[in-house]
């Protein structure tokens, strides 16, 4: 199979496994999605959902979050990784959304990435899941699997995103983001498979004998 044929096969198989996938993070509006995704860095989705259950009861808008202050935000999220840094970023982001955007979350990636703690991946998730815009957010799972499946040369996350966007239809980007993550967590784990063990890797590369060493993002 060439690269395009592999992409088509992968899309069909992932759709069988995870048809109509739902975002794993709990949120009620674009702002709470942004905060949840920001918190998910170096923290599991399960832990984020536990933390945000109480946090979002107390503050589900930029104003309420700003009014909490950095110390109270930290109290809510202290069991998440990088809590001190994230507390400050959440407070500053809330303040900027109020002052610069009239308390409404901006809908452009270019504007979102100017907010403290918000990178390209986080912004891509938000514009896709909150606003329905086409975006293909690439995290470490997707970067790893794209290399194991030879869909990219893996030089960087940015290159992986460009390569995947060329291979898959725009309408599928949002679902594929979730489907590849789910598959990576369930079957093609970082410290298992190595391109040799899971069903997709064995089907796509039956003659492969050497481990695929993932190039870091």
Q: What is the pLDDT of residues 178-207, one digit of tens each?
A: 999 999 999 999 999 999 999 999 999 999
Asked if domains 3-21+136-204 and 30-129 share a fold, the reply is no
Distance of alpha carbon 175 from the chain centroid = 12
- Each residue's pLDDT tens digit, 56-105: 999 999 999 999 999 999 999 999 999 999 999 999 999 999 999 999 99
Residue 124 near residue 165, CB atoms below 8 Å: no
Q: How many CB atoms neighbour CB 207 within 10 A?
A: 4
Q: What is the DSSP string of 125-137?
A: HHHHHTT------
Q: What is the pTM of this model?
A: 0.94
CA–CA dist 217, 174 (Å, integer): 20
Whether pLDDT at 217 is above 70: no
CA–CA dist 147, 6 (Å, integer): 12
- 156 Cβ contact list (under 8 Å, min separation 6): 217
Residue 80 near residue 54, CB atoms below 8 Å: no
Choose among 117, 122, 150: nearest CA to 138.
122
CATH number of the domain located at residue range(s) 30-129 in this protein:
1.10.340.30
Active site residues: 121, 139
pLDDT at position 214 is 86
> What kind and span of H or E run contains 23?
none
Phi-psi domain of 77 (left: phi exceeds 0; alpha: psi -120 through 50; beta: other): alpha
Residue 33 near residue 126, CB atoms below 8 Å: yes
- Each residue's pLDDT tens digit, 92-131: 999 999 999 999 999 999 999 999 999 999 999 999 999 9
CA triplet 130, 51, 25: central angle to 5 degrees? Answer: 30
Give domain limits for the chain.
3-21+136-204, 30-129
CATH 1.10.1670.10 fits 3-21+136-204, yes or no: yes
pLDDT at position 216 is 75
The fraction of the chain above a pLDDT of 90, given in percent, is: 94
- Phi then psi dihedrals of residue 46, to 5 deg: -60, -45
- Each residue's pLDDT tens digit, 124-172: 999 999 999 999 999 989 999 999 999 998 789 999 999 999 999 999 9
CA–CA dist 129, 22 (Å, integer): 10
């Amino acid at each position: 199979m060439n690269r395009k044929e592999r992409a088509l096969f992968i899309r069909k198989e992932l759709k069988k496994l995870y048809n109509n996938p739902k975002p794993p993070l709990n949120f009620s509006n674009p702002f709470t999605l942004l905060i949840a995704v920001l918190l998910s860095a170096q923290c599991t989705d399960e832990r984020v959902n536990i933390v945000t259950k109480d946090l979002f009861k107390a503050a589900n808008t930029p104003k309420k979050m700003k009014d909490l202050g950095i110390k109270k935000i930290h109290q809510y999220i202290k069991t998440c990784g990088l809590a001190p840094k994230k507390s400050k970023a959440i407070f500053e982001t809330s303040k900027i959304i109020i002052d610069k955007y009239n308390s409404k979350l901006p809908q452009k990636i270019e504007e979102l990435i100017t907010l403290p703690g918000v990178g390209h991946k986080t912004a891509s998730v938000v514009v896709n899941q909150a606003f329905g815009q086409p975006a293909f957010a690439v995290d470490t799972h997707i970067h790893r699997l794209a290399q194991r499946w030879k869909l990219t040369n893996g030089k960087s996350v940015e290159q992986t995103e460009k390569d995947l966007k060329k291979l898959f239809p725009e309408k599928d980007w949002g679902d594929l983001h979730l489907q590849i993550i789910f598959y990576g967590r369930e079957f093609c784990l970082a410290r298992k498979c190595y391109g040799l063990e899971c069903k997709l890797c064995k089907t796509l590369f039956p003659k492969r004998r050497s481990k695929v060493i993932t190039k870091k993002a």
